A and B are shown apart, each in its own frame.
Chain A
């Protein structure tokens, strides 16, 4: 143990952020909670929880509607959150920040509103083998609706994209490339910057599924030069039911609304409707006001810690976890990309991941088990699912040690 700690040192101290998260201050099955499932949903800091509660207590009203004080307060707080999100990903304009219910809705919006009117049976939609179902199924739907063909770029046994094959598939028939920034099941960080540059040279628009990207690294959509970037609030310490679609203004301008309803119109008559300006054209109905306000506070929180600090700390802790996992008898790591976020899938002997999840939970260790909404990835490796441990800024060396101890217990139970 001591020797291992000497081999892999976690030298970056970003402060004890664990204490900011009320959910982490509890025992589960008689053990202090070790939460290693942030890739599924991250815990929320007290500042986010309090902001949501404060809004509900004193400021709640519908947004963009009333002239009374509470409506102003709600609207101001809601729109401030949009400004924070714009700055968070360095979008050029707040009109490019469409607030959605999450990554899934963001991708569906692009599939239906951008892609569907533009493609026909001669066209192709390009995705990759390591996508989450939410970056597969919306494209399958649009292909069914239009007769377009869905192409899938392959990956290798380490869970890395085969870039040569990906580039071969990028022909002038491809009308959109949709690709994960970071694989949720394997942790692979795709070289999106390089891929986008290649696609732009061929005039292929690119959607980046950033659900697993935003919690781990600073995102600059202008530097990336992507056309669409989709992400969720709850993976970045914000409330569930919140998310963002970043899209270039010129593209949003050219797209019809995704949903019809209140708030997305300027004028409605039975002869026709004039749509609201951007981004409201894409925000029909009363939104998740409290959630978005909470998400704005989550942005504040991430920026107070610093994305660069988070990235450096997570990478060191991840190196420690990888080393300790590798030393567990019978472990098989699934996903060993050269460039990997702090997410690790694995199998332990012939123990089914679901059994492993139950045994670890009984020792207070929360991991994700199953197919991670990435069944094609599981099929590739010929397994029904994996166990997955994911690290966030509130995890530490002790958490990793508790994971390893719990895995040893599981091994003994099934020996």
Chain B
């Protein structure tokens, strides 16, 4: 591979990481802000880069997620992932949301289908798969999802990726 090809390849990987959908959600995060009547919430902190977000859920008596919001600051990957998360989990049952947690987090860490422990189609969340080539960024992409699990399990302390 000559330098030019390597350069192109390298730029291609970057484009894979920062796909238009990711940049769009990072620039204009959906459901951004506090949720006034949240029944569940959890903080997620990534000390490496200072990503810090708080996820709010409104879960009804039938354990369905009526609404989801997040606030905080972070890199494009962590904000986009949180934004996509809120888009995804609204309307899901708790159980379904936890299935998404498993599907997304394994999907972002394993490229081999045989290693996928979930067969759930993660749809547009596939846009985050570019992080597989960037080991230091996987934690950014999974931060909000860990906060989701923590909120649903009502863990008292903030989750950390470290």
Contact = CB atoms under 8 A, between A and B. Distances in A.
Interface of A: 29-31, 351-355, 357-359, 362-363, 369-371, 378, 384-385, 413-414
B57 interface: no
Given A352-B76, A413-B14, 13 more contacts: A30-B10, A352-B49, A352-B74, A355-B75, A355-B76, A355-B77, A357-B49, A362-B11, A362-B13, A362-B14, A370-B48, A370-B50, A413-B18
Interface of B: 1, 3, 6-7, 9-11, 13-15, 17-18, 23, 48-52, 73-77, 134, 136-137, 140
30 contacts: A29-B6, A29-B10, A30-B1, A30-B3, A30-B7, A31-B7, A351-B76, A352-B75, A352-B76, A353-B75, A354-B48, A354-B74, A354-B75, A354-B77, A354-B137, A354-B140, A355-B18, A355-B75, A357-B49, A358-B17, A358-B134, A358-B137, A362-B13, A363-B10, A369-B49, A378-B50, A384-B50, A384-B52, A384-B74, A413-B15
A408 to B, nearest CB: 13
For chain A, what secondary structure do more than half of its interface residues adopt (helix, strand, loop), or is it mixed? mixed
Nearest to B136: A358
Contacts, number: 64
Counting from the closest, the 8 A-B pairs by CB-CB distance are A30-B6, A354-B49, A352-B75, A384-B50, A354-B75, A385-B50, A29-B10, A355-B76
A123 B9 CA distance: 61
A31 B5 CA distance: 11
Contacts of A352: 49, 73-76
Interface centre among A353, A357, A358, A371 (most CB of B within 10 A): A358
Contacts of A31: 7, 10
A370 B49 contact: yes
A359 B13 CA distance: 10
A414 B15 CA distance: 11
B62 to A, nearest CB: 38
A356 to B, nearest CB: 9
B49 A385 contact: yes
B90 to A, nearest CB: 25
Interface centre among B1, B13, B74, B75 (most CB of A within 10 A): B75
A352 B27 CA distance: 11
Contacts of A30: 1, 3, 6-7, 9-10
Contacts of A351: 76
B129 to A, nearest CB: 15
Contacts of A378: 50
B51 A354 contact: yes
Nearest to A386: B50
Contacts of A369: 49
B10 A362 contact: yes
Contacts of A355: 18, 75-77
Contacts of B52: 384
Contacts of B13: 362
Contacts of B11: 362
A413 B11 CA distance: 10
B75 A371 contact: no
Nearest to B15: A413
A369 B137 CA distance: 13
Contacts of B49: 352-354, 357, 369-370, 384-385
Contacts of A359: 14, 18
A352 B6 CA distance: 26
Contacts of B9: 30
Contacts of B14: 358-359, 362, 413
Nearest to A364: B10
Contacts of A370: 48-50
Nearest to B49: A354
